[in-house]
């Protein structure tokens, strides 16, 4: 069983528990459920840097990245640095995140927020909306074509944008549908954890231009971004690079300045 299978198995148990604790009706009464969402794809199209900065305390591949940074400060710092959006990990067991992180980020910045989560149930999409997300992540590797369609259409009905993440051609081909906004190519092989930007380069040619293309994982230098831009990428998801410093916002600020110089 690879790490993705393990996470998915645990996630099903967790979501079933959450459903019993907080019914959908209650989520729909959340004050944030009615808020107007902010478009990440629009921000990326208008931006020269395309940086989506992540809040991530730990990961299965790196263990602890940073447990000291306060998400309120990180979100403010990212916004001041001029990033296009912020990705907030809400998985607790493997990444040390929570839905409260999403709430805190929402209260501290006006960036488009991506709920970075292993979504396997429509309940989590309603949850994302109730906790202030603007975008949800769907991972092709753990979903069938029917689930991708069902989940992305539900998200659209809630005015949430959908970022679909793929790792290979097969995942890409089963996923192309009009209810998606952004395509993310994950450069990390989830079975071996090896990272290669070649994945982004190869798969970019297969994504129709109606979708905003995002490259994820292994982007730790401005050179990487300059290499990927000619392949049509508008967005670049950067997590560990900023989070492993003691001031994620300042680190993002410096990175964007270097990118523009």
Note if 14 is an active site residue: no
Q: Which of 43, 116, 129, 234 is catalytic?
A: 116
Q: Which of 41, 108, 186, 251 is catalytic?
A: 186
CA dist list (Å): 2 to 63, 117, 121, 164, 190: 16, 17, 20, 20, 8
Q: How many residues does the chain have?
A: 261
CA neighbor of 215 nearest in space, from 195, 235, 229:
235
Q: Which of 117, 161, 216, 240 is catalytic?
A: 216
Q: Are 250 and 77 in contact (CB under 8 A)?
A: yes
Q: Which of 59, 175, 217, 241 is catalytic?
A: 217
Taking residue 172's Cβ as centre, other Cβ atoms within 10 Å add up to 17
Q: Which of 165, 187, 213, 251 is catalytic?
A: 165
Q: What whole-number distance in Å separates Cα of residue 130 and Cα of residue 3?
A: 28
Q: Which of 11, 56, 213, 234 is catalytic?
A: 56
Q: What are phi and psi of 103, to 5 degrees?
A: -60, -45
Q: Which of 11, 41, 54, 215 is catalytic?
A: 54
Note if 253 is an active site residue: no
CA neighbor of 118 nearest in space, from 240, 217, 6, 8:
8
Note if 165 is an active site residue: yes
Note if 116 is an active site residue: yes
Note if 216 is an active site residue: yes
Note if 79 is an active site residue: no
Q: Are 81 and 75 in contact (CB under 8 A)?
A: no
Q: Which residues pair with 214 in a beta bridge?
A: 184, 235
Note if 217 is an active site residue: yes
Name the residues annotated as catalytic: 54, 56, 116, 165, 186, 216-217
């Amino acid at each position: 069983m690879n790490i993705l299978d393990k996470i998915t198995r645990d996630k099903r148990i967790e979501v079933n528990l959450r459903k019993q604790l907080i019914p959908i009706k209650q989520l729909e009464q959340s004050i944030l459920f009615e808020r107007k969402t902010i478009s990440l794809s629009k921000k990326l199209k208008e931006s020269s840097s395309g940086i989506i900065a992540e809040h991530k305390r730990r990961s299965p591949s790196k263990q602890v990245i940073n447990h000291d940074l306060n998400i309120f400060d990180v979100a403010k710092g990212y916004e001041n640095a001029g990033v296009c959006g912020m990705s907030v990990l809400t998985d607790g067991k493997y990444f040390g995140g929570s839905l409260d992180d999403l709430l805190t980020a929402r209260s501290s910045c006006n960036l488009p927020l991506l709920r970075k989560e292993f979504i396997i149930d429509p309940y989590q999409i309603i949850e994302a909306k109730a906790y202030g997300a603007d975008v949800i992540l769907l991972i092709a590797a753990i979903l069938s074509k029917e689930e991708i369609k069902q989940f992305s259409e539900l998200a659209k009905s809630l005015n949430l944008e959908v970022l679909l993440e793929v790792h290979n051609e097969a995942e890409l081909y089963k996923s192309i549908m009009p209810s998606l906004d952004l395509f993310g190519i994950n450069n990390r092989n989830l079975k071996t954890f090896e990272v290669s930007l070649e994945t982004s380069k190869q798969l970019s040619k297969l994504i129709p231009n109606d979708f905003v293309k995002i490259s994820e994982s292994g982007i730790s230098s401005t050179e990487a971004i300059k290499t990927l831009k000619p392949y049509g990428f508008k967005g670049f998801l950067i997590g560990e690079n900023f989070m492993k410093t003691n001031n994620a916002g300042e680190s993002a600020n410096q990175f964007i300045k270097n990118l523009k110089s």
